[in-house]
């Protein structure tokens, strides 16, 4: 686990100088190899649980209704974030979609294990073309840790447009992904600092995927450019201050510009999904997001 000193040093390096690291797409866009699927199924024991918790809190604070509703989780992988939408945010009709059949099979097994097969279902599908999902039919469309898998920004924009289309007027669109750092040297330092935890947990394939993902991630400016410019919604792009290793895009309910409508967490204090050993990093990420930049794209129609 990286110390606060390591993070502060990397933050300083990230803030000094121009973007020099060019994007390197992942060697495989589809994660379906057996070792990768098995190891990705253990993400809630890793630091990815921190990002999931932040994503859940953001949705809780930004969504309009807090009662039961419907959700679609795109590129759901083994389904852990999808199932968290049911457990912590109490969505009662949720569909997870992923292009990888082995991931979907694993997600279904996880839903059965948690007794949520009646509330959460999973299927294979292309998240850039959701013609089988009716327009204006869901309260939440989420897309977490997957935009960097797409080969170009045109397809990222296509996903965002589909997410807006299928969301109800008072529904929420939420995208969360990594941020490509300024240099290869800084990226390697960051990967080794966080990735040490993955290796220590016996997840070498997950470590390799994480490293590839950091090089394939979009910069904040690149991802911002994929936000639809002919939308009915206000869009807000949140990038943490300091070391911006995640970024979040919210498409707010139509007619609302206020970003957050409530505070607090969607879980009781004794049910925090972040393991105790990782909570200082969770607090650091929440703090850096609270102080981070917020770039708005207004509605045009």
CB 186 within 8 A of CB 10: yes
**Closest C-alpha among 257, 183, 175 to residue 223:** 175
CB 17 within 8 A of CB 26: no
**Quick one: CA dihedral 30, 36, 40, 46, positive or negative?**
negative
> Which pLDDT belongs to residue 30?
75
Could you identify the residue written with the tokens 């959701």?
A: 130
pLDDT tens for residues 41-51? 998 888 899 99
Half-sphere exposure of residue 97, counting CA atoms within 13 Å on the CB side? 19
Over range 239-245, report the average pLDDT.
89
> Which pLDDT belongs to residue 29?
72
* Cα–Cα distance list, 103 to 32, 48, 117, 150, 170 (Å): 7, 17, 16, 17, 31
**Closest C-alpha among 57, 80, 83 to residue 71:** 83
- pTM comes to 0.95
E-assigned strand segments in the chain? 70-74, 93-98, 120-124, 138-144, 167-178, 235-239, 246-251, 293-297
CA-based radius of gyration for the chain: 18
Rounded-to-integer distance, Cα 269 and Cα 252, Å: 27
Over range 248-271, report the average pLDDT.
95
Q: Is the pLDDT of residue 245 over 90?
A: no
Runs of H (alpha helix) within 22-152: 34-40, 48-62, 80-87, 101-113
76: phi then psi, degrees, rounded to nearest 5: -75, -15
Give the confidence band of 195 by pLDDT, cuts at 50, 70, 90: confident
**Domains with residue ranges and CATH for the chain:** 4-297 (3.40.50.150)
Residue 192 in 3-state DSSP?
helix
**Closest C-alpha among 162, 163, 161, 180 to residue 171:** 163
**Closest C-alpha among 187, 164, 183, 165 to residue 175:** 164
259: phi then psi, degrees, rounded to nearest 5: -70, -55
Half-sphere exposure of residue 4, counting CA atoms within 13 Å on the CB side? 7
pLDDT tens for residues 111-133? 999 999 999 999 999 999 999 99
Mean pLDDT of the chain: 93
Say if residue 200 is exposed, middle or buried (CB neighbours under 10 Å; 0-12, 13-18, 19+): exposed
> Which pLDDT belongs to residue 3?
63
CB 197 within 8 A of CB 162: no
pLDDT tens for residues 15-68? 888 999 999 999 877 778 888 899 999 988 888 999 999 999 999 999 997 777
Give the confidence band of 1 by pLDDT, cuts at 50, 70, 90: very low
């Amino acid at each position: 686990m990286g110390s606060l000193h390591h993070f502060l040093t990397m933050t300083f390096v990230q803030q000094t100088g121009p973007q020099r690291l060019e994007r390197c797409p992942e060697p495989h866009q589809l994660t379906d190899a057996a070792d990768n699927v098995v190891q990705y199924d253990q993400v809630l024991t890793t630091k990815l649980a921190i990002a999931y918790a932040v994503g859940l809190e953001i949705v809780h604070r930004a969504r309009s209704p807090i009662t039961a509703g419907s959700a679609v989780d795109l590129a759901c992988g083994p389904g852990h974030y999808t199932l968290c939408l049911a457990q912590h945010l109490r969505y009662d009709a949720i569909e997870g979609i992923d292009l990888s059949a082995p991931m979907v099979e694993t997600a279904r097994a996880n839903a059965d294990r948690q007794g949520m097969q009646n509330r959460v279902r999973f299927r294979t599908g292309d998240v850039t073309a959701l013609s089988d999902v009716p327009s204006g039919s869901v309260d939440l469309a989420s897309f977490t840790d997957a935009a960097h898998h797409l080969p170009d920004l045109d397809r990222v924009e296509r996903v965002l447009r589909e997410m807006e289309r299928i969301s109800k007027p008072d529904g929420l669109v939420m995208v969360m992904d990594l941020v490509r750092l300024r240099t290869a040297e800084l990226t390697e330092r960051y990967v080794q600092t966080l990735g040490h935890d993955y290796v220590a947990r016996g997840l070498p394939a997950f470590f390799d995927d994480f490293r590839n993902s950091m090089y394939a991630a979009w910069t904040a400016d690149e991802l911002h450019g994929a936000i639809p410019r002919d939308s009915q919604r206000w869009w807000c792009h949140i990038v943490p201050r300091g070391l911006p290793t995640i970024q979040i895009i919210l498409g707010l309910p139509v007619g609302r510009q206020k970003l957050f409508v409530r505070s607090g967490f969607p879980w009781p204090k004794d049910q925090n999904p972040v393991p105790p050993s990782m909570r200082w990093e969770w607090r650091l990420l929440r703090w850096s997001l609270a102080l981070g930049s917020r770039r708005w794209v207004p509605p045009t129609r």
